[in-house]
A and B are shown apart, each in its own frame.
Chain A
Amino acid sequence: MTISAQLSADGQELIISVEGRFDFSAHQDFRNAYERVDASPKRYRVDLSNANYLDSSALGMLLLLRDHAGGDNARISLVNCRPDVRKILAISNFEQLFEIA
């Protein structure tokens, strides 16, 4: 599991990439990814192209990010989800809270 974060060139968007298993062990790293940024991005993009597993604590971490980014006003997209990951997001109806692409 590796998590990296990168700010877009204009500083408006933070792109967080998750690789491998996205589960409880990612807790601290995922949090650091958006808390230790010296900018206040307007949008967040979580790139899950290399995440091959996602469990309910990962869903909880996404909710924490949403809270951090302004709750109902947060603009977060979850991109490049693999079918398995997408399925878990669908069962939990997370498309109501996040833009899933």
Chain B
Amino acid sequence: MPELKGDKGFITVLLAEDGPADRMLLATLVARLGHRVLTAANGLEAVALFEQERPQLVLMDALMPVMDGFEAARRIKRLAGEELVPIIFLTSLSEGEALVQSIEAGGDDFLSKPYNPLILEAKIKAMNRLRRLQATVLEQRDLIARHNGHLLTEQRVAKAVFDKITHSGCLGAANIRYLQSPYALFNGDLLLAAYKPSGEMHVLLGDFTGHGLPAAIGAMPVADAFYSMTARGYSPSEILCELNAKLKRILPVGMFCCATLLSVDTQRRLLEVWNGGLPAGYLRRVADGHYVELASRHLPLGVLENDAFDTSCDVHPLAVGDRVLLLSDGVLEVSNATGETFGEERLRTLLRECDEPARLFAQIQNALADFHGEAHDDASMLEILVSDEPISALPMQEYGKSWLISSQDWSASFEFRAQTLKSFNPLPFLLQLLMEVRGLRPRSGELYTVLAELYSNALEHGVMGLDSALKQDAAGFSEYYRQRDQRLSELDAGFVRFHLQIVPNGEGGRLLLRVEDSGEGFAVAEELARQQSPTSLGGRGMRLICRLADECTWDEDGRGVSVEFCWNAGA
């Protein structure tokens, strides 16, 4: 660098002046101030010297032969690029005119003849200050750009790690459509979906308060618990309890996660919804095109202690062709040029006027883009189409090796009594146990569904005496689940028993599963006949069990049921 003793404010000054006397005078003045001086007799020489020596400041006569000062100033400014090389014009022109011309040519200041050494010194000082300021700004800008680059790289890597952790998700399923920014994680938005062993789909849309790292950190344990618990067959309420407890423990007060958790059960045609703090989602009924609002009824996750936390879900019947739409508040907060937000009313109008439900998702997306003026990426949105397509591949869980794997001959019995039934879901536990039998693993989904049906029949109709006839319309449906929650919380007697027996059979084997309950039983033949009716909303259970299990018989009094699963060698 040609900067001489730059730290003390001494610099290299280029002086372009065609008059030898003036040139000599000025060069002496500048040199006396301690700066190094380069001299040129015309504009062309000045430009050449500038290229060669890169001085920090230029004193430029306006009128010179060969190339005048204005043209030389323009060239020097171009060569200097982003760096500020102050140019002070030396002029005998009248002041007003000189100012305009020299500033237009890129000059930063001017000095009139006759030269006053004090003013010259002051001007060089001031310009030098300005030059340093500009250099600092550039340096800091580059630093910020570098940091931002680092940050983006880090986010990319973190996102890749996060994606690895959450790879088991089923957001790619054919009946799901979603919109999410690649950096949504760092906006605090979280979108997860996974199948339970029995085939229900769990979906979680979450929105953490805050941005950046704190929000992303909270997402990790949420995703982890959501996936592992869903894969083990836990219910939405149990998952919510775990998520809430976890977040309450790790998040600082004042930070929380607004979330909606869905359980979409296409076999039993049931939608369970828990919404804590997110804008209402919508269930569009294919039958009449009406929308059911899936409104927030709870505080967000991570606010309350678990003993005050309410995990009760709203339950809605589903039909093939129904659509469920979830959105983060980023969707409603998309703003236009005048700062107006998209808002709930516009969304509702859009929903109401949509006559082509298959295009609803795209229409909302387009409406947001039109409103905002460009694609907006701070919003998350998801649509699920209820279909009766069989789920292609359920995630197989990794099970560790244990003694039971080679063991093919055992039995176990469990009795779950009232206090346990109130708060404990035995299904994941039983499934885990049965999955120790290698021959049963390929049928985990069917087995779980049958277990779940048998258990809910035993608990709801048996132990609690709930009447499934209630479930004949949507209102009755909600009533049924309200009663279920109430009776469960008041339960003080009763039991459900499971008897499991694994019997070797040649190279394969059989599972004999018997479920008994303390209820009054039911008229088995009548119920089976009634459940043949295809319009009954509640009556899918018994037919489903018969279809999935290899054998299935109810005791005549309806207080017990035996099912059988068989497998062959090599399974």
Q: Could you tell me which A residues sit within 8 Å of B by CB distance? A: 56-57, 59-61, 63-64, 67, 90-94, 96-97
Contacts and interface: CB of A to CB of B under 8 A. Distances in A.
Nearest to B299: A93
Contacts of A94: 299
Interface string B487-514: 0000000000000000000000000000
Nearest to B297: A93
Contacts of A93: 276-277, 296-299
B482 to A, nearest CB: 19
B255 interface: yes
27 contacts: A56-B207, A56-B210, A56-B258, A56-B329, A57-B209, A57-B210, A59-B256, A60-B254, A61-B254, A63-B253, A63-B303, A64-B253, A91-B277, A91-B278, A91-B279, A91-B280, A92-B258, A92-B299, A92-B300, A93-B277, A93-B296, A93-B298, A93-B299, A94-B299, A96-B299, A97-B299, A97-B303
A90 B295 CA distance: 10
B278 A63 contact: no
Contacts of B210: 56-57, 60
Contacts of B329: 56
Contact of B254 (A64, A90, A91): A64
At the interface, is chain B mostly helix, strand, loop or mixed? loop
B298 A63 contact: no
Contacts of B299: 92-94, 96-97
Given A56-B209, A93-B297, A63 B254 contact: yes
Given A91-B277, A91-B279, A93-B296, 11 more contacts: A56-B210, A56-B258, A59-B209, A60-B210, A61-B254, A64-B253, A67-B254, A90-B296, A91-B296, A92-B299, A93-B298
Contacts, number: 45
A92 B277 contact: yes
Interface residues of B, number: 20
Which of B276, B296, B300 has the largest count of A CB atoms less than 10 A from its CB?
Answer: B300
Contacts of B297: 93
Contacts of A64: 253-254
A94 B296 CA distance: 11
Given A92-B299, A93-B296, A63 B277 contact: no
Nearest to B255: A60
Contacts of B279: 91
B241 to A, nearest CB: 17
Interface string B282-303: 0000000000000011111001
Contacts of B280: 91
A94 B303 CA distance: 10
Contacts of A57: 209-210
Among B254, B296, B299, residue most surrounded by chain A Cβ atoms (within 10 Å):
B254
Q: Which 8 A-B pairs have the closest CB atoms?
A: A60-B254, A64-B254, A92-B277, A67-B253, A56-B209, A93-B299, A91-B296, A63-B254
Given A92-B296, A92-B300, A63 B256 contact: yes
Nearest to B278: A91
Contacts of A67: 253-254
A43 B260 CA distance: 33
A32 to B, nearest CB: 15
Contacts of A63: 253-254, 256, 303
Contacts of B296: 90-93
Nearest to B277: A92
Nearest to A96: B299
B307 to A, nearest CB: 11
A42 B545 CA distance: 60
A71 to B, nearest CB: 9
A90 B275 CA distance: 12
B278 to A, nearest CB: 7
A91 B546 CA distance: 43
A73 B209 CA distance: 24
A97 B258 CA distance: 15
A90 B279 CA distance: 10
